[in-house]
Structure 1
Amino acid sequence: MSQEQGDKELSRDELLKKYDRESTYRTNLGKWAILVSILGIALTVFHLWTADDPYRSVIQGAVHLAGGMSLIYLLYPFKQSMTGRKGIPWYDILLSLTALFSNFYIVFNYEHLFQSSVVAGFGLFDKIVATVFVLLLLEGTRRAVGLPIVIIALIAIGYGLWGSGLPHFGHAGFEFDRLMTDLVYSSEAIFGTPIQISSTYIYLFLFFGVMLVQTNIGQFFNDLAFGATGRFTGGTAKAAVFASGMQGMVTGSSVANTVSSGSFTIPMMKRAGFKPEFAAAAEASASTGGQIMPPIMGAAAFIMIETINVPYSDIILVAIIPALLYFTGVFIGTHFEARKLKIYGLPKSELPSPSSLLKQIDLLLPLAAILFMLYSGYTPTTAALWGIFAAFAISFVRSSTRLSLKDILHTLEQGARIALPVIAACASAGIIVGVVVFTGLGGKIANGIIDIAGGNFFLVMFFTMIACIILGMGLPTTANYVVTASLAAPALTQGFDVPQIAAHFFVFYFGIVADITPPVCLAAYAGAGIARANPMKAGVTSVKLAIAAFVVPYVFVTNPVLVLQDATAAALIPALITAFIGMTGISAGMINYFVTGNTWYERLMLIGGGIMLLIPNLFIAFPGLGLIIVVYILQRFRQNTGKKTAVSP
């Protein structure tokens, strides 16, 4: 049976388990369900309690990891096929307790492990705990996130142990016990920046997303999207893009958002007349783009603020134009596809009325609270906390969003559950970062990329892009960014005059679009499962729709004004105009429709002209604009005269 046929029988939960490793948890906990609930609630309450006054970073991270690792062993079985079995095996209970012990050993022995041992050295038991800690972390990550990140972490450990003799990439060398203790008892590895951010900003923003879902405030995003765009040409697809972008910015998972939103939007698009592959692709592209949409974006954005030492409020501003270009490209693509298929908007009777939307406008207050706090100078942690409190308070205004005591406890538990894969990914990524820092590997790889590219700037960008996409096929976005920010971004900042924030957005974007890039395009596969479409065709169509994500990063690296670096009105306005016209031309070429169907040479002219408009040089941009205008005139003439010309496939 083909993958397409097999997907036809899959439910929403089965699709999540098939394409989203993070959803392969136990479904029948038996008597242990109460323990899981207590641990989950306690972990969320701990983060809420310490939000404004966290413990010193290592202790905060150790408690964070203690709850996360212990819950992973209780919820995620050794094999995916065991998710339906009742109860929890004794060995997973033992591993869960060991994970708790190894983390709280750090909490209660902090002074000894992180200060006095630097001089006196570590004892035998310290070394045993560190080794067990690393093994537990890698196995827990394999269960909750998947094998690829574990393989990369093991390669990093192997490099630390045996890479001293490698030509060009050698280092001083590490003994096994020293590497284990450095990885665990250091603030530059497992308890480095990724887990520090995960234990503060990320956890709270993930819980904020859970609050929106559990209170049904998230449903208002869908209603708002259909009210705003549903009446226009291809309204169902445009509404799906709008809604999924809003949902994606708070869920942080391309696959999970594709399945949750797509179960509603994809059937609507198919009923309107869109092909199954296109419906799946539109949902997957929008859901993936949610991770680059301000104000919340994906979890990786919070690590970026510490990595490049830029306030989160600045990250939001910088992200606005690239995100608008991305979603404009997807919107234009759906528009041209709808015109090609003659699919018009939904009737007024099927859309939410403006009055009903206005009555619920207060449901946007949690997002408004976050923005207000950020731009008032408060930390992202404080902003997230106020967003959570605002969502909780507003939920009591109407019965459809009101939470009972049981609902509140369930929401607290879900906050912990949704954070587990991120906790594991950040901690394991810390192993990779630690080895990179200890050995100086980042600078060596950056120099290697530049050497391979022969110093050619565009080849360096291309090789960096390929590295990010390949890593993204196996790593969640957060871990992907941590790794590529350490290994790939320095190639752009060290060898060339690229602003740091532009280089980091470059690797951030290409790590994200791996979810819709064949052959391992998990978000597109998940959408295809709902649409009953060919998964690979859905992946290829996703790339066509999201072509902006493959072009825009090159634009803001070569023209940093689009990420507001040294931006003036005189420089920014022309760059925006040419960028948006360029995206229109590229999308029209990709979808193969502009005023009417494209001939093969018109298609080339549209794509070529669009790319020329994105290049920050008016002497190149104006001829590009001329190509698009010529195609418009040709197609308008052909349309008015009724002349038929064979269009390209």
Structure 2
Amino acid sequence: MAQTPPAVETPDENLAQRLKEEEELGLRRPQGWQRWLVPAIALTWSLFQLSIASWLLLDSTYIRAIHLAFAFAIVFLSYPTLRRTVRIPGFRWLGEKRKIPWIDMALALAAVAAAVYIAWDYEGVSARIGIPSARDTLFGIALVIFLLEASRRVLGPAMPIIAGAFTLYAFFGPYMPDVIAFKGVSLDRYVSQISMSTEGIYGIPLDVSATVVFLFVLFGAMLEKAGGGRFFIDLAMSLLGRYKGGPAKAAVMSSGLTGLVSGSSIANVVTTGTFTIPLMKRVGYPPTKAAAIEVAASTDGQIMPPIMGAAAFIIAEYVNVPYLEVCKAAAIPAFASYATLFYLTHIEASKLGLKGLPKEELPSFFGTLLSGLHYLIPLFVLLYELIIPRHSPDLAAFRAILVLAAVMLLQHPVRAWREGGDVAAAFRRSGAEILNGLVAGARNMVSVAVATAAAGIIVGVVTMGLGGLITDVIDTLSRGNIYLMLAITAFASLIMGMGLPTTATYIVMAALTAPAIVQIAEWNGFFVPIIAAHLFCFYFGILADDTPPVGLAAYAAAAIAKSPPIPTGFQGFMYDIRT
């Protein structure tokens, strides 16, 4: 079977790979015994999540607290205080990347203690909601501080700034101008709402992260470690590579297939773009357009069922509908988006007079399909569990993970047995891939767990009485015009998404604008389904991944294509907004 040929030039993948690693692994690469510390914690986290999905029965508050504690531990051990190296004597630990300073170890332990405090004294905390003790207040304030610092290390400064601004607004609302004045809250009420109840940090977003999102991210990570990502790329290339502008069409298809199991546009860009962007350049696409096509296709992967971005699972909880209904609502827009992008790549190829790759240089379609048919088994199991018996997403994902683990365990030994190789060594390789998948899944979840918890601060402040005020402010700004209101929401989502990950952007915008969209539309004689309002916020939050000047997916693709990142982002945005 012929293989996909290498590109004429070797792409500069360093920046792209670094962006992906920063998103998934953090900046720190410790040596010696410390190199095993974070993987051990990540492996334990994955095993804990699989346990609560199967045999371990725990109260949901315990699950949320332990989930956040694992994320805290990995954050403070994997992400240095400062991203750049500090050369001032006595302060080098602030940017230390080759070892874990003892200060960060102490911070990790303290943050874990703050996270699990609500579980350690669950009955006492529950009884004291509204009248927190001095100890409750101390741990509550510590939890908020650790969470803001963790979100700064993982997500950058935007999230803690926004959450901090809402916190200040909660206390200083009475002193604001009349238009945005708020009665304000006491410290006791703030601590009770944010750190002692399920209306703040331990709210619905963190619950969804702990019970559902983790399992789907773990499924995607394990499938990637098994080789599923390369299978999707080869399958798309074998089917479409020989047609006009074939590599671009294959990029759209492979990114859509990868989007079935990946909720990260940056990971999607690096996984598929490493192969497709050089081939697009080879057949004649300009570097900027080659990168932009990959960015647009990878960004849209977050709205592709059955594994959409993490925010889709939170939509299901907010709207109070089964996750399958969210998938159904997103399915037609997702397929329409990819069909339109596919058509746009064809138009670009026609205008540029481009051809496809020679057929003899491409993989055989049937050979590729047969060689990777086993990768489709866990996907079919996942779809079956969601659609036929309509099991909950966490149960469906858990069963799909079990099937995937069996596939991973057997694929190399079966191949070794058929080829007369070392079966024992093949089993060891399979076991290592499973362990690596479990570790990768947990490390991929850190940003989601921290983002959902930090967004809980904003949601908690909003639920203290800001909801009606926000609706009135948006109504005033839009003058009651539903179209102007949607434009304001879209613009705000894009701006906020420049500094926040998709999940956090959606949670914030859903808390601030989704109810207002429905309410104001009703006042003006329109009916807007609540799920449509939430998907609207979700979609424009996703677009931020390719929107200059911050879109990280655009930077990753531009690094592979050796194109300017800002024009790449603008071109990718134009492709996305047209689809």
Whether 2:439 is the aligned partner of 1:427: answer no
- 1:144 partner letter: V
Larger deviation: 337-346 or 67-76? 337-346
1:311-340 CA-to-partner distances (Å, cap 9, x unmatched) read 111111111111112112211111011111
- 1:523 partner letter: A
Matched positions, count: 539
Whether 2:158 is the aligned partner of 1:144: answer no
Larger deviation: 167-176 or 11-20? 11-20
Whether 2:393 is the aligned partner of 1:393: answer no
Q: Secondary structure at 1:321's aligned position in 2? A: helix
Show the 5 A alignment for 1:123-272: 123-166=133-176, 167-272=178-283
**Counterparts of 1:468 and 1:125, CA distance in 2:** 38
> Percent identity between the aligned chains?
41
Give the TM-score taking structure 2 as reference length: 0.89
Give the TM-score taking structure 1 as reference length: 0.80
2:534 alignment partner in structure 1 = 504
Whether 2:486 is the aligned partner of 1:461: answer yes
2:88 alignment partner in structure 1 = none
Task: For structure 1, list consecutive stretches of 5 or more residues without a partner in the other structure.
Answer: 1-7, 550-649
1:587 alignment partner in structure 2 = none
1:43 alignment partner in structure 2 = 45
1:95 alignment partner in structure 2 = 107
2:547 alignment partner in structure 1 = 517
**Counterparts of 1:149 and 1:370, CA distance in 2:** 33
Q: CA deviation at 1:452?
A: 1.6
- Give 1:106's match in structure 2, choosing from 118, 123, 129: 118
1:112-147 CA-to-partner distances (Å, cap 9, x unmatched) read 112x1137x322122111111111111011101111
Q: Is the 8 A contact 2:411 2:430 kept in 1?
A: no
CA RMSD of aligned residues (A): 2.0
Q: Is the 8 A contact 1:59 1:107 kept in 2?
A: yes
1:200-241 CA-to-partner distances (Å, cap 9, x unmatched) read 111111100111111112221112211222222111001011
Q: Is the 8 A contact 1:30 1:86 kept in 2?
A: no
Show the 5 A alignment for 1:302-321: 302-321=313-332
Q: CA deviation at 1:354?
A: 2.8
**Counterparts of 1:474 and 1:437, CA distance in 2:** 23
1:483 alignment partner in structure 2 = 508
Q: CA deviation at 1:50?
A: 0.4
Q: Is the 8 A contact 2:173 2:181 kept in 1?
A: yes
Whether 2:290 is the aligned partner of 1:279: answer yes
Q: CA deviation at 1:21?
A: 5.3
- 1:531 partner letter: A
- Give 1:325's match in structure 2, choosing from 333, 336, 342: 336
Q: Is the 8 A contact 1:210 1:415 kept in 2?
A: yes
Q: Is the 8 A contact 1:254 1:287 kept in 2?
A: yes
1:598-626 CA-to-partner distances (Å, cap 9, x unmatched) read xxxxxxxxxxxxxxxxxxxxxxxxxxxxx
2:462 alignment partner in structure 1 = 436
**Counterparts of 1:398 and 1:405, CA distance in 2:** 11
1:576 alignment partner in structure 2 = none
Show the 5 A alignment for 1:339-358: 339-358=350-369
Q: Is the 8 A contact 1:289 1:326 kept in 2?
A: yes
- Give 2:438's match in structure 1, choosing from 396, 412, 433: 412
Q: CA deviation at 1:29?
A: 4.2
1:414-444 CA-to-partner distances (Å, cap 9, x unmatched) read 2211111111101000001000111x22332
Whether 2:470 is the aligned partner of 1:445: answer yes
- Give 1:337's match in structure 2, choosing from 348, 360, 374: 348
Q: CA deviation at 1:9?
A: 11
Q: Secondary structure at 1:28's aligned position in 2? A: coil
- Using a 3 Å threshold, how does the CA distance of structure 1 residues 10 and 354 change in structure 2: closer, same or farther? closer
**Counterparts of 1:98 and 1:545, CA distance in 2:** 46
Q: CA deviation at 1:26?
A: 0.6
Task: For structure 2, list consecutive stretches of 5 or more residues without a partner in the other structure.
Answer: 1-8, 86-94, 416-425, 522-526
Q: CA deviation at 1:84?
A: 6.6
1:451-489 CA-to-partner distances (Å, cap 9, x unmatched) read 222111211111111111111111101111101111111
**Counterparts of 2:406 and 2:432, CA distance in 1:** 16
Using CA pairs under 8 Å that are at least 6 residues apart, name the structure with larger relative contact order, 1 or 2.
2
Q: Is the 8 A contact 2:15 2:559 kept in 1?
A: no
Whether 2:79 is the aligned partner of 1:79: answer no
Q: CA deviation at 1:521?
A: 2.5
- Give 2:71's match in structure 1, choosing from 63, 68, 71: 68
**Counterparts of 1:84 and 1:356, CA distance in 2:** 48
Q: CA deviation at 1:20?
A: 7.7
Q: Secondary structure at 1:432's aligned position in 2? A: helix
Q: Which has the larger radius of gyration?
A: 1
